[in-house]
Amino acid sequence: MTATTHPQSSSVNEGPLYVALELGLRSWTVAMTPGLGLEPWVRTLAPGDWTAWDRLTTAARARFRLAPTAPVRSCYEAGRDGFWIHRALERLGVDNLVVDSASIEVNRRARRMKTDHIDACKLVVLLVRVALGDTKAWRTVRVPAVADEAARQVSRDRSDLVGDRTRVINQMRGWLATWGTTLPAKRDGAWWDGLRDWSGAPLPETVQQRLARAAARLALVDEQIAALNAEQAEAIAPAAADTPVGRLCRLKGVGVTSIATLIQEGLLWRDFANRRQVGAMLGFTPTRYDSGTVQRDTGISRAGSPRLQSTMVQLAWSWLRCQPESALARWYHARFGTGRRARRIGIVALARKLFIALWRCATTGVVPTGAQVKAEA
């Protein structure tokens, strides 16, 4: 007689619980599922209510017959709330991902429904696909350390102040244009008193008062910009020559403000693996259309960091002036040296190549070919 044994089946699934958060101002929509093929369980909770989070995940484990200690994997879209939610989830032991919103797959119909419920369910399904190995479903955001995130506020504040300065100056130029005069290049003291309109008469008192108030705002902005410039220079000055910051400081044509922006926006802390990842962060990539018999270049992609892009374009022009014998400058002049339009298009390509060269110089110490370094003090 042969004994027959039957494997004992368990009703408890040992897999993880997948959770997607759709963040709102007044509430968060939470979609939970144990895997593909099961309808997500959707609930809401108040923003930052981690006690309710614990209750929801515990109830979800019981609902889907998961082990009481089943791990939780979550995700949410990068946006207004930043990264504090990611850090809070990690403290709770949750394996969380911050997703780039622009990389998420969407329905290509001309008009589609969009609700927090639909978005949360879509997000949790994509999370399961990513966990199963589908690396093309989306792209994630690299979360900076708290110190790195705090440090970049200086360069961003300076960029905003420079924009405010440009806006105020353009406003004053616009006001004066309506009276047939222009904004003087040198503005000392009460410079608006000496302005004359198209007929040679002094400007009306109300116009002069408005210019005085704008000049006061401009003086405050200039003072704050100077303070931030000094703060950036003080932070970079003590860097040793063999550090990433010190290597960049040695290059001619690369200023303190640009170095601070590159470092604080993630040239180092993002921990790039290769030059393609570096270039992808900056953007400035061509978008080619090749389908059937139609082949054309549709221009440069708008993806990338706007702050880094503006900084690198400025650095590229500076590099041409200060490093004319470098290989990058010679390549630019050989390919885009004729015609104003060609030069303006080519500066974008130079900015991308220069960004990769600066990353390589900061991380490995390899100076760009033909580049000159500053004499050591």
- Average pLDDT in the 45-63 region? 95
| pLDDT tens, position by position, 253-274 | 898 889 989 988 888 888 888 8
pLDDT band of 9, cuts 50, 70, 90: very low
| pLDDT tens, position by position, 96-105 | 999 998 888 7
Average model confidence (pLDDT) for the chain?
Answer: 89
Is 339 in the same domain as 358? yes
Q: Provide the residue range defining the domain that includes 155.
A: 147-236
Output the CA torsion 342→345→348→354 (10° steps): -10
| pLDDT tens, position by position, 332-356 | 999 998 788 889 889 999 999 999 9
Say what percent of the chain tops pLDDT 70.
95
Is 123 in the same domain as 192? no
The CATH code of the domain that includes 102 is 3.30.420
In a domain, residue 138? The reply is no
| pLDDT tens, position by position, 363-374 | 998 999 999 988
pTM: 0.82
Instruction: Name the percent of the chain in helix, strand, coil, to the closest 5.
Output: 50, 15, 35
Is 253 in the same domain as 217? no
Is 197 in the same domain as 87? no
- Average pLDDT in the 67-76 region? 94
Residue 26: DSSP 8-state: S
> To 10 degrees, what angle do helices 340-364 and 327-336 make?
160
Is 40 in the same domain as 126? yes
| pLDDT tens, position by position, 207-233 | 999 999 999 999 999 999 999 999 888
Total structural domains in the chain?
3
| pLDDT tens, position by position, 82-96 | 999 999 999 999 999
